[in-house]
Amino acid sequence: MSFPGAHVDDGAVIGARVTIAPGAVIGADVEIGAGTAIGSNTVIHAGTVIGADCVIEDCVVLGKRPRLRKGSSAASGAPLPGLVLGDGVTVCCGAVVYARAVVGAGTIIGDQSQVRERSVIGERSVVGRGSCVDFDARVGDRVSIQTAVYVTSGAVVEDDVFLGPGVVMTNDDTMGRHPKGEGLEAPIVRRAARVGGAAVLVPGVEIGEEAFVGAGAVVSKDVAPRDVVLGVPARVVRQVTDADLLERWR
Protein backbone atom coordinates (compact mmCIF):
# COMPACT_ATOMS: atom_id res chain seq x y z
CA MET A 1 0.00 0.00 0.00
CA SER A 2 1.24 3.47 -0.71
CA PHE A 3 0.01 6.73 0.76
CA PRO A 4 1.57 9.60 -1.18
CA GLY A 5 2.51 12.56 0.99
CA ALA A 6 1.79 10.75 4.27
CA HIS A 7 4.36 9.35 6.69
CA VAL A 8 3.54 5.83 7.84
CA ASP A 9 5.91 4.19 10.33
CA ASP A 10 7.24 0.78 9.31
CA GLY A 11 5.70 -0.84 12.39
CA ALA A 12 2.16 0.35 11.65
CA VAL A 13 -0.44 -2.29 10.71
CA ILE A 14 -2.77 -0.93 8.05
CA GLY A 15 -5.94 -2.82 7.04
CA ALA A 16 -7.46 -3.26 3.61
CA ARG A 17 -9.08 -0.27 1.88
CA VAL A 18 -7.60 2.24 4.32
CA THR A 19 -7.05 5.71 2.87
CA ILE A 20 -4.52 8.12 4.34
CA ALA A 21 -4.46 11.71 3.06
CA PRO A 22 -1.29 13.70 2.39
CA GLY A 23 0.34 15.23 5.45
CA ALA A 24 -0.86 12.56 7.87
CA VAL A 25 1.70 11.04 10.25
CA ILE A 26 1.11 7.48 11.48
CA GLY A 27 3.36 6.38 14.38
CA ALA A 28 4.91 3.08 15.36
CA ASP A 29 2.66 0.11 16.18
CA VAL A 30 -0.48 1.98 15.18
CA GLU A 31 -3.22 -0.38 13.99
CA ILE A 32 -5.83 0.90 11.53
CA GLY A 33 -8.83 -1.33 10.73
CA ALA A 34 -10.14 -2.04 7.25
CA GLY A 35 -11.99 0.69 5.44
CA THR A 36 -10.93 3.52 7.74
CA ALA A 37 -10.18 6.95 6.24
CA ILE A 38 -7.51 9.23 7.73
CA GLY A 39 -7.62 12.94 6.89
CA SER A 40 -4.94 15.38 5.95
CA ASN A 41 -2.42 16.56 8.57
CA THR A 42 -3.76 14.17 11.18
CA VAL A 43 -1.19 12.81 13.65
CA ILE A 44 -1.69 9.34 15.14
CA HIS A 45 0.74 8.59 17.96
CA ALA A 46 2.42 5.27 18.60
CA GLY A 47 0.29 2.45 19.94
CA THR A 48 -3.11 3.83 18.91
CA VAL A 49 -5.59 1.17 17.79
CA ILE A 50 -8.34 2.25 15.39
CA GLY A 51 -11.21 -0.07 14.42
CA ALA A 52 -12.71 -0.73 11.01
CA ASP A 53 -14.69 1.80 8.97
CA CYS A 54 -13.75 4.80 11.09
CA VAL A 55 -13.56 8.36 9.74
CA ILE A 56 -10.72 10.41 11.17
CA GLU A 57 -10.98 13.88 9.66
CA ASP A 58 -8.30 16.51 9.02
CA CYS A 59 -5.95 17.92 11.68
CA VAL A 60 -6.91 15.38 14.36
CA VAL A 61 -4.44 14.22 17.03
CA LEU A 62 -4.95 10.68 18.33
CA GLY A 63 -3.04 9.15 21.25
CA LYS A 64 -1.64 12.44 22.57
CA ARG A 65 0.39 12.14 25.77
CA PRO A 66 -0.78 14.53 28.52
CA ARG A 67 1.55 17.37 29.51
CA LEU A 68 0.95 17.93 33.22
CA ARG A 69 2.23 20.45 35.72
CA LYS A 70 4.16 19.06 38.69
CA GLY A 71 1.75 17.60 41.26
CA SER A 72 -1.22 17.63 38.89
CA SER A 73 -4.20 15.53 40.04
CA ALA A 74 -4.26 14.05 36.53
CA ALA A 75 -0.99 12.17 37.08
CA SER A 76 -1.45 8.43 37.68
CA GLY A 77 2.14 7.25 37.51
CA ALA A 78 1.07 4.30 35.36
CA PRO A 79 2.36 4.06 31.80
CA LEU A 80 -0.13 5.12 29.16
CA PRO A 81 -0.87 2.46 26.56
CA GLY A 82 -2.45 3.49 23.31
CA LEU A 83 -5.81 4.98 22.63
CA VAL A 84 -8.47 2.51 21.43
CA LEU A 85 -11.21 3.56 19.00
CA GLY A 86 -13.96 1.01 18.20
CA ASP A 87 -15.39 0.27 14.77
CA GLY A 88 -17.23 3.06 13.00
CA VAL A 89 -15.96 5.88 15.21
CA THR A 90 -15.84 9.37 13.68
CA VAL A 91 -13.34 11.93 14.95
CA CYS A 92 -13.95 15.36 13.44
CA CYS A 93 -11.57 18.15 12.48
CA GLY A 94 -9.19 19.42 15.10
CA ALA A 95 -10.22 17.03 17.88
CA VAL A 96 -7.57 15.73 20.29
CA VAL A 97 -8.07 12.27 21.82
CA TYR A 98 -5.48 11.25 24.41
CA ALA A 99 -3.58 8.04 24.99
CA ARG A 100 -5.36 5.39 27.06
CA ALA A 101 -8.83 6.72 26.33
CA VAL A 102 -11.35 4.22 24.98
CA VAL A 103 -14.08 5.26 22.54
CA GLY A 104 -16.86 2.78 21.71
CA ALA A 105 -18.18 1.75 18.31
CA GLY A 106 -20.16 4.30 16.33
CA THR A 107 -19.38 7.25 18.59
CA ILE A 108 -18.75 10.70 17.09
CA ILE A 109 -16.17 13.06 18.58
CA GLY A 110 -16.98 16.57 17.32
CA ASP A 111 -14.78 19.30 15.89
CA GLN A 112 -12.13 20.69 18.23
CA SER A 113 -13.24 18.58 21.17
CA GLN A 114 -10.90 16.99 23.71
CA VAL A 115 -11.10 13.51 25.21
CA ARG A 116 -8.54 13.05 27.97
CA GLU A 117 -6.47 10.10 29.14
CA ARG A 118 -8.14 7.16 30.90
CA SER A 119 -11.62 8.39 30.01
CA VAL A 120 -14.07 5.87 28.56
CA ILE A 121 -16.90 6.73 26.18
CA GLY A 122 -19.43 4.05 25.21
CA GLU A 123 -21.06 3.21 21.91
CA ARG A 124 -23.08 5.51 19.62
CA SER A 125 -22.53 8.56 21.80
CA VAL A 126 -21.78 12.08 20.56
CA VAL A 127 -19.30 14.58 22.00
CA GLY A 128 -20.26 17.97 20.58
CA ARG A 129 -18.04 20.62 19.10
CA GLY A 130 -15.53 22.06 21.53
CA SER A 131 -16.54 19.85 24.45
CA CYS A 132 -14.11 18.29 26.90
CA VAL A 133 -14.38 14.87 28.50
CA ASP A 134 -11.72 15.16 31.18
CA PHE A 135 -9.42 12.43 32.50
CA ASP A 136 -10.94 9.39 34.22
CA ALA A 137 -14.49 10.34 33.21
CA ARG A 138 -16.95 7.58 32.27
CA VAL A 139 -19.57 8.24 29.60
CA GLY A 140 -22.09 5.57 28.64
CA ASP A 141 -23.80 4.48 25.42
CA ARG A 142 -26.05 6.75 23.32
CA VAL A 143 -25.11 9.80 25.37
CA SER A 144 -25.64 13.17 23.69
CA ILE A 145 -23.08 15.75 24.79
CA GLN A 146 -23.82 18.96 22.94
CA THR A 147 -21.56 21.92 22.10
CA ALA A 148 -19.04 23.33 24.60
CA VAL A 149 -19.80 20.99 27.49
CA TYR A 150 -17.31 20.27 30.28
CA VAL A 151 -17.47 16.74 31.71
CA THR A 152 -15.12 17.00 34.65
CA SER A 153 -12.54 14.40 35.61
CA GLY A 154 -13.98 11.38 37.37
CA ALA A 155 -17.56 12.20 36.35
CA VAL A 156 -19.95 9.36 35.57
CA VAL A 157 -22.48 9.92 32.80
CA GLU A 158 -24.71 6.88 32.31
CA ASP A 159 -26.40 5.61 29.17
CA ASP A 160 -28.88 7.80 27.26
CA VAL A 161 -28.06 11.00 29.14
CA PHE A 162 -28.51 14.34 27.36
CA LEU A 163 -26.20 17.22 28.29
CA GLY A 164 -27.30 20.50 26.68
CA PRO A 165 -24.94 23.10 25.26
CA GLY A 166 -22.56 24.70 27.72
CA VAL A 167 -23.28 22.35 30.64
CA VAL A 168 -20.47 22.61 33.18
CA MET A 169 -19.60 19.98 35.77
CA THR A 170 -17.28 20.80 38.66
CA ASN A 171 -15.42 18.50 41.05
CA ASP A 172 -13.49 20.60 43.56
CA ASP A 173 -15.17 22.78 46.21
CA THR A 174 -11.78 24.04 47.38
CA MET A 175 -10.66 25.12 43.90
CA GLY A 176 -7.27 23.51 44.34
CA ARG A 177 -6.71 23.91 48.12
CA HIS A 178 -6.84 20.31 49.23
CA PRO A 179 -4.30 17.62 50.09
CA LYS A 180 -3.00 15.74 47.06
CA GLY A 181 -5.28 12.84 46.16
CA GLU A 182 -8.18 14.08 48.31
CA GLY A 183 -11.14 16.37 47.98
CA LEU A 184 -12.24 15.78 44.41
CA GLU A 185 -15.85 14.67 44.00
CA ALA A 186 -17.32 14.55 40.54
CA PRO A 187 -21.02 14.56 39.66
CA ILE A 188 -22.92 11.43 38.63
CA VAL A 189 -25.63 11.71 35.99
CA ARG A 190 -27.86 8.64 35.98
CA ARG A 191 -29.44 6.91 33.00
CA ALA A 192 -31.63 9.00 30.68
CA ALA A 193 -31.34 12.19 32.73
CA ARG A 194 -31.46 15.49 30.81
CA VAL A 195 -29.47 18.57 31.75
CA GLY A 196 -30.40 21.86 30.04
CA GLY A 197 -28.09 24.38 28.43
CA ALA A 198 -25.60 26.23 30.66
CA ALA A 199 -26.59 24.33 33.79
CA VAL A 200 -23.85 23.97 36.40
CA LEU A 201 -23.45 20.82 38.51
CA VAL A 202 -21.49 21.46 41.70
CA PRO A 203 -19.08 18.81 43.04
CA GLY A 204 -20.54 15.46 43.98
CA VAL A 205 -24.18 15.98 43.05
CA GLU A 206 -26.13 13.07 41.64
CA ILE A 207 -28.77 13.62 39.00
CA GLY A 208 -31.28 10.75 39.20
CA GLU A 209 -32.57 8.58 36.38
CA GLU A 210 -34.87 10.40 33.96
CA ALA A 211 -34.50 13.66 35.92
CA PHE A 212 -34.72 17.00 34.08
CA VAL A 213 -32.53 19.99 34.93
CA GLY A 214 -33.75 23.25 33.38
CA ALA A 215 -31.54 25.57 31.35
CA GLY A 216 -29.30 27.76 33.48
CA ALA A 217 -29.88 25.89 36.76
CA VAL A 218 -27.18 25.60 39.41
CA VAL A 219 -27.60 22.16 40.91
CA SER A 220 -26.27 22.20 44.47
CA LYS A 221 -28.12 19.16 45.86
CA ASP A 222 -28.89 15.69 44.55
CA VAL A 223 -31.85 15.49 42.17
CA ALA A 224 -34.17 12.51 42.67
CA PRO A 225 -35.18 10.30 39.74
CA ARG A 226 -37.77 12.02 37.51
CA ASP A 227 -37.63 15.32 39.38
CA VAL A 228 -37.75 18.47 37.23
CA VAL A 229 -35.57 21.16 38.80
CA LEU A 230 -35.19 24.81 37.78
CA GLY A 231 -33.36 27.90 38.92
CA VAL A 232 -30.47 29.05 41.08
CA PRO A 233 -30.21 27.13 43.31
CA ALA A 234 -32.19 24.42 41.52
CA ARG A 235 -35.56 23.60 43.11
CA VAL A 236 -38.02 20.84 42.32
CA VAL A 237 -41.01 22.16 40.36
CA ARG A 238 -42.66 18.95 39.13
CA GLN A 239 -42.02 15.39 37.91
CA VAL A 240 -41.20 14.07 34.46
CA THR A 241 -44.45 12.56 33.17
CA ASP A 242 -44.84 8.97 31.96
CA ALA A 243 -45.38 10.34 28.46
CA ASP A 244 -41.99 12.06 28.56
CA LEU A 245 -39.92 9.03 29.60
CA LEU A 246 -37.23 7.94 27.17
CA GLU A 247 -38.87 4.57 26.47
CA ARG A 248 -41.75 6.46 24.81
CA TRP A 249 -39.37 8.23 22.46
CA ARG A 250 -37.17 5.41 21.23
Ligand X SMILES: CC(C)(COP(=O)(O)OP(=O)(O)OC[C@H]1O[C@@H](n2cnc3c(N)ncnc32)[C@H](O)[C@@H]1OP(=O)(O)O)[C@@H](O)C(=O)NCCC(=O)NCCS
Pick 15 or 216: Cβ nearer ligand X: 216
Do the beta carbons of residue 205 and residue 227 sit within 8 Å?
Answer: no
The C-alpha atoms of residue 23 and residue 41 are separated, in whole angstroms, by: 4
Pick 154 or 164: Cβ nearer ligand X: 164
Residues 165-224 contacting ligand X, CB under 6 A? 196-197, 214-216
Can you tell me which of 11, 22, 81, 231 binds ligand X, judged by CB under 6 A? 231
CB of residue 244 vs ligand X: minimum separation in angstroms? 10
Do the beta carbons of residue 73 and residue 54 sit within 8 Å?
Answer: no
Residue 25 in 3-state DSSP? strand
Pick 23 or 165: Cβ nearer ligand X: 165
Nearby residues of 70 by Cβ (< 8 Å), 6 or more positions away: none
The C-alpha atoms of residue 199 and residue 15 are separated, in whole angstroms, by: 43
Site for ligand X contains 164 (CB under 6 A): yes
Peptide bond before residue 233 is cis, with ω within 30 degrees of 0: yes
Site for ligand X contains 147 (CB under 6 A): no
CB of residue 87 vs ligand X: minimum separation in angstroms? 29
Site residues (CB under 6 A) for ligand X?
164, 196-197, 214-216, 230-231
